[in-house]
Amino acid sequence: MEQTTGTTIKEIVRHDHRAAAVFEKYSIAFCCGGNKTLDAACAQKGIDPETIRQELQRFDGNTGGQNFRPDDWDLDLLADFIVNNHHRYVRSTLPIILAHVDKVHTVHGGNHPELSGIAERFHMVADELSQHMQKEELLLFPYIRTLVAATRDGGVATRPMFGTIRRPIQMMETEHQSAGDAFAAIRSASGDLTPPPDACETYRVTYRELEEFERDLHQHIHLENNILFPKAIELEDSVLSRV
């Protein structure tokens, strides 16, 4: 992707999902904070932007593994992908990580008081995400599928009970920010999820699980905040203009 000084982080990842791994490596937000330009994000982190550009350049003209372009998908397919991959991942891993977080807190909390806050924040994320996914699956995503169907059939869609899709989307984005903030606090309390010298294997595994969960969460939020939601707003405006 040809980058200009005005190209944002989210635009880079939308163009090539492999760029997300580069931004994760340097702790540069591409989901909730993806509206910054590359130069601005690097300045905030004290990183030379040329370092990032050089790493991103290896993707130019290289289609290896480049079979994931959700920005090109129909919105119903994208919603299904989010449910079948990210929602399923969250539901399958939450009980495991919660059990490990609680066990590590119980065993090591005396020597590592930060584990109390880490456990508390992850429980909060687990509760909020569970409700968040249910709202998407029962309310928001079905409406998006209705809009897509109306477009394909050349039909119309009735205005939803929540008035406009902007309202639930605003709520979802607020909840995304809350989850992102909670993980930022977990990283801060844990020294970037670095286990201490006296950490047992469960302790180390738990931090690896939290890191993997956070990585999936960033991808999940990116697909919604930067692709699905803005396109769904445009689609609703187009469909409802025909009513």
Q: 80 and 33 in one domain? A: no
Q: Which is it for the CA torsion 146, 148, 153, 157, positive or negative?
A: positive
Residue 2 lies in a domain: no
Q: 195 and 131 in one domain? A: yes
Q: 88 and 38 in one domain? A: no
For 116-151, write each residue's pLDDT tens digit: 999 999 999 999 999 999 999 999 999 999 999 999
Q: 80 and 51 in one domain? A: no
Q: 102 and 145 in one domain? A: yes
Residue 62 lies in a domain: no
Q: Is 130 helix (H, G, I), strand (E, B) or coil?
A: helix
The pLDDT value given to residue 10 = 82
Percent residues over pLDDT 90 in the chain? 63
Q: 158 and 96 in one domain? A: yes
Q: 53 and 76 in one domain? A: no
d(CA 73, CA 220): 15
Residue 64 lies in a domain: no
Q: Which of 93, 121, 82, 83 has its CA nearest to residue 105?
A: 121
Q: 160 and 190 in one domain? A: yes
- The count of structural domains within the chain is 2
Q: 182 and 221 in one domain? A: yes
Residue 113 lies in a domain: yes
Secondary structure, 3-state, 67-97: CCCHHHCCHHHHHHHHHHHHHHHHHHHHHHH
Q: Which of 69, 93, 111 has its CA nearest to residue 223?
A: 69
67, two tokens: 């079979």
Residue 208: Cβ-neighbour burial (10 angstroms; 0-12, 13-18, 19+): exposed
d(CA 102, CA 124): 13
Mean pLDDT by 10 residues, the chain (243 residues): 67 80 82 81 88 81 62 95 97 96 97 97 97 97 94 79 93 96 96 95 96 94 95 93 68
Taking every pair of C-alpha atoms in the chain, what is the biggest distance, in angstroms?
65
233, two tokens: 């707003």
Q: 13 and 113 in one domain? A: no
The pLDDT value given to residue 63 = 52
Q: What b-and-e string marks burial along 172-200, b requiring 16 or more CB atoms within 10 Å of the CB? A: beebbebbbebbeebbebbeebebeeebe
All residues at 6 or more sequence positions from 51 whose CB lies less than 8 Å from its CB, including other chains? 42
Residue 3 lies in a domain: no
Q: 217 and 139 in one domain? A: yes
For 178-193, write each residue's pLDDT tens digit: 999 999 999 999 999 9
All residues at 6 or more sequence positions from 174 whose CB lies less than 8 Å from its CB, including other chains? none
Q: 162 and 112 in one domain? A: yes
Residue 19 lies in a domain: yes
Residue 181 lies in a domain: yes
Rg, C-alpha atoms of the chain: 20
For residue 43, what are the domain limits?
Answer: 9-57
